[in-house]
A = this chain, B = another copy of it.
């Protein structure tokens, strides 16, 4: 049987596909654009998620990892697109899983710290009172995944991921994109803008940490979630100043970072918690997240030195 990954051409999807293939899984990668690589025993389905759902999720599908989404700034700028992809698209995916003629597949849904409102500290029990459309859409997704699981239509699980840093590649429309840019660009000798002040604290996970969390979330026994199929994934609380200190320890020049306040970004990112209690994740066996030096070192090795881990 196979594991379907939506949004598989993204950096997390690509890495997850590689990791799962190395574990002997047959992956079905779905995206609008072609991924950099498809594992030898994997397949790629190109196209709009809704149009390709019947081919992407079949009786052969034992699990779905749903990474496809309109990101935070994108969802804030285009209300209809955000709801269309992040809510209506997810709903159609869940309905396809419900009607798939096999046993209920495992569905791993990626939510975000953006589901929380303006609070500096969040636990798994914090209210989901989001201050952005993206956070609202993710919070709705958590509710749907839990209810479809409760009804036995899927074996669902939601991971609330921290902001990912250092995200490789070109900037995207995530409001938190700067959290990668202020490390990634100076490491390549390029200037970067930081919309928040240096004392601001962010809740981060490295790509390595996020992939480890996804793999654990996929294979962990669903009952370990308890009554509600959602968990805050491990991360680290780190100030922008500490991120830039790590940049310097890895040979980057922090003077390449220009501090330019951006009220649009501050309104979105500033509403996200910076400190988390992840005791539920820890009790469920999720591995701890990399510290900032490990995150920067891994980026340097993989993206700049070409070491494939």
Contacts and interface: CB of A to CB of B under 8 A. Distances in A.
Given A118-B227, A228-B117, A139 B143 contact: yes
A245 interface: no
A78 to B, nearest CB: 12
A131 interface: yes
Interface in A76-132: 79, 117-118, 124-131
Contacts of A146: 129-130, 136
B143 A228 contact: no
A118 B147 CA distance: 14
Please state the number of chain copies in the assembly.
2
A133 interface: yes
A19 to B, nearest CB: 30
Contacts of A139: 143
Interface string A11-25: 000000000000000
B127 A126 contact: yes
B150 A131 contact: yes
Contact of A143 (B125, B128, B151, B230): B128
Contacts of A118: 227
A273 to B, nearest CB: 13
Contacts of A297: none
A140 interface: yes
21 contacts: A79-B151, A117-B227, A117-B228, A118-B227, A124-B127, A125-B127, A127-B228, A128-B143, A129-B146, A129-B227, A130-B146, A130-B147, A131-B150, A131-B227, A133-B147, A133-B151, A136-B144, A136-B147, A140-B140, A140-B144, A143-B143
Interface of A: 79, 117-118, 124-131, 133, 136, 139-140, 143-144, 146-147, 150-151, 227-228, 230
